[in-house]
Structure 1
């Protein structure tokens, strides 16, 4: 089982502000100034096909980590989405990597979850697309993974507060980064397989 980084992570408490709402969470990246709404696709500001590549890398990070740790992958799905917000519509691609939780050590499961965002961030850097706003948006886009980790940790450590679960989860980030870097060619190979799937159609314009 892959182990956590026992050092205290360099957390910064950041309030992620949107127009009319506030999402308080631990974030490794500062929220961009003046972002318009709670949708991270606005901050990403990427074409649908480029966002699809990023989503494929994210899911490939999960999948590669699952293979390495012996977790059974049941499905990988990429879905184009368009959402209407008060400020503007957004288009992007979301992804899901389904895994079996039968006899999965907690540390391996947490490392697998963290590997998605870690791979996504590396892809941004390697592609010359990384900006502070996009790094933040990719982290925000991985909140579903954080939620899964928190739920698993609450089963493992009943009564543990959500903040403590988030901090414990992100102590597995260094192990995920080490795995992704060591298996980067495998991640790229999985991305190639996902890229071979039919391209998603352009989302239809939202109805009034």
Structure 2
């Protein structure tokens, strides 16, 4: 189970818990632009964003959810989008939640595998995934905790570990899809699934 850092960052006035400490010079009252905070080149930032979105999309596809499309927004921005049909049955809750958590975990893994990982960059990746994290927290009852609570509570790091395990099974496919998404900036779910050999 992870050690969580509870009081090292406030995002939009709300304390934000991270696995890794946010560098002191980035602890501001507002969200810092990811490009500035990560200190990556434009190409590296775009690749990190693509990996994040592919993490979502592939875990959802492998879990039987339908992806409409995956896209990277125009150059100069560090955001992407996976448009998925997320009306789900109880049987699909697991891939839904793990897919949401997988974006952040895919970015973290990509940073490690490319030699770009630092604790500070990992923390900023966590902050950039706050919408995904909120989605996960809203879809699990009882709500996961961050190193606090009763021994029977589910720690959010357990969900991250489960997302990591899903990504282990899909990583080669993700790396296969990465150049295609970077080239075209938008793929339909059918194009992505066909390219990586998933239903």
Deviations 1:118-160 (A, max 9, x none): 111111011111111111111111111012122323xxx4xx5
Structure number with greater CO (CA < 8 Å, separation at least 6) is: 1
The reply to whether residue 29 of structure 1 matches residue 24 of structure 2 is no
Aligned-residue offset at 1:112: 0.6
Maintained 8 Å contact 2:2/2:157 = no
Q: Distance in 1 between matches of 2:69 and 2:3?
A: 33
| Larger strand percent | 1
Aligned to 1:60: 54
Q: Is the partner of 1:184 in helix, strand or coil?
A: helix
Maintained 8 Å contact 2:144/2:156 = no
Q: Which residue of 19, 32, 44 maps to 1:39? A: 32
Q: Distance in 2 between matches of 1:195 and 1:149?
A: 27
Aligned-residue offset at 1:168: 5.3
| Larger helix percent | 2
Q: Which residue of 58, 67, 83 maps to 1:98? A: 83
Q: Is the partner of 2:21 in helix, strand or coil?
A: coil
Maintained 8 Å contact 2:46/2:78 = yes
Instruction: Give unmatched runs, 5+ long, in structure 2.
Output: 147-152, 187-199
Maintained 8 Å contact 1:60/1:116 = yes
Instruction: Give unmatched runs, 5+ long, in structure 1.
Output: 1-8, 82-90, 200-208
Q: Is the partner of 1:196 in helix, strand or coil?
A: helix
Aligned-residue CA RMSD (Å): 2.7
Q: Is the partner of 1:34 in helix, strand or coil?
A: helix
Aligned to 1:10: 2
Aligned to 1:175: 162
Q: Distance in 2 between matches of 1:21 and 1:176?
A: 27
Maintained 8 Å contact 2:9/2:17 = no
Q: Distance in 2 between matches of 1:98 and 1:17?
A: 30
Q: Is the partner of 1:14 in helix, strand or coil?
A: coil
So what's the TM-score if we normalise by structure 1?
0.73
Aligned residue pairs total: 175
Q: Distance in 2 between matches of 1:24 and 1:58?
A: 23
